[in-house]
A and B are shown apart, each in its own frame.
Chain A
């Protein structure tokens, strides 16, 4: 194998390249990235500290200069892939080039779902550094921001904006923040936190429309309320970047469908990592697509291995992991959460707690806030499908021995 081409220079693409090199690949690596950036950057900080800190792309580098140089790849920033010819083993680029590959790794990610209420000045989405820079200018003390969507992005931006003194309202038809992932009861813990931090919360309410009145935006809610805002952030999910593969023969079904080892169905020597990867479980239990940083990194490592050691190719079997920073809460979500079988350990009022989710017997997932010991125990229990009662008992005992300090 002499040339591996990677499409996308975010976490999935970069970590694949890094894994190939450290695994001993001595051929050519070409990374094609449609965003015209100087250096691969990391996306999680964009909704957190980066949003209100000085404009320093160096602070959110995905990889340092030394490690980037060690990858020894040709980086083609600012060039979009526009098509794929798997029979000829060529990637088509927007500048007309047909880039030949021996193996291709697709890591084109997803983009923010655009506003159904119109676009233009004051209406934001958040996915790229350009989006973050535009939103940053709206986050001035006393300015009014309405966030539509109480998922992770919306909840994080609400926290970051409140800390900057912005007047924030969150609107979502669901009953509580992140409730789609955490379940309604657990979501309410976070609803209370946002309310206590001064966010106006309008959950269980949709948006009917947004109108411009002079320089202001008037947001009409489904219950008739009207909220005047200086800026609107639309955080209603992501859409996979797969349109460029139309006609390629790859199977696209809300993501590029792969086998359990992340090889694309319908094309030899094409692998998929990150948000665009919809892999079929080897046990026949359907397919999954994840949009997490850690999944992309894990998939990248696996694909590098599977490319270099096809005879020992492994299947992707994740333990999901997501983190979020909101106010003084470090929130960590492990495994599959959201089932109704959940138990709270500790007290959210003391800013340290855990929620253990189970299938009735075994641990399936957990949410941890400001509690490192519980995080380690939960990650282990989820990976081992440990006994839920045992984990709850253990965490309860730790709490009894060392109650969390009351944060004033």
Chain B
């Protein structure tokens, strides 16, 4: 089952902890807001992407398990 990553763009403060954790899923644009490079998270990637999402200091990211 694939999980999906969601971002709360209004909450994002551009801290970039997610980019450090998983730069193939997250980037930050020139306004300092997260950009999702992909949203579907296969099982093999789940732990890594979930950890990157949880490293967000303002809880702007969530991985929803399918």
Contacts and interface: CB of A to CB of B under 8 A. Distances in A.
Interface of A: 15, 18-19, 22-23, 42, 44, 61, 63-64, 293-294, 297-298, 301, 319, 321, 323, 330, 332, 370, 372-373, 375-376, 379, 383
A301 B20 contact: no
Contacts of B17: 294, 297, 321
A298 B17 CA distance: 10
Interface string B7-45: 000000111110110000001111110000000000000
Interface of B: 13-17, 19-20, 27-32, 47, 50-51, 54-55, 57, 59
B15 A323 contact: yes
Contacts of A22: 47, 50
Contacts of A23: 47
A379 to B, nearest CB: 6
A173 to B, nearest CB: 31
A88 B14 CA distance: 46
Given A319-B20, A330-B13, A332-B15, A372 B30 contact: yes
Nearest to A60: B58
A123 to B, nearest CB: 30
A365 to B, nearest CB: 15
B51 A293 contact: no
B28 A376 contact: yes
28 contacts: A15-B54, A18-B54, A22-B47, A22-B50, A44-B57, A61-B59, A293-B57, A294-B57, A297-B17, A297-B54, A297-B55, A297-B57, A321-B15, A321-B17, A321-B20, A323-B13, A330-B14, A330-B32, A332-B15, A332-B16, A370-B32, A372-B28, A372-B29, A375-B16, A375-B28, A376-B16, A376-B28, A379-B20
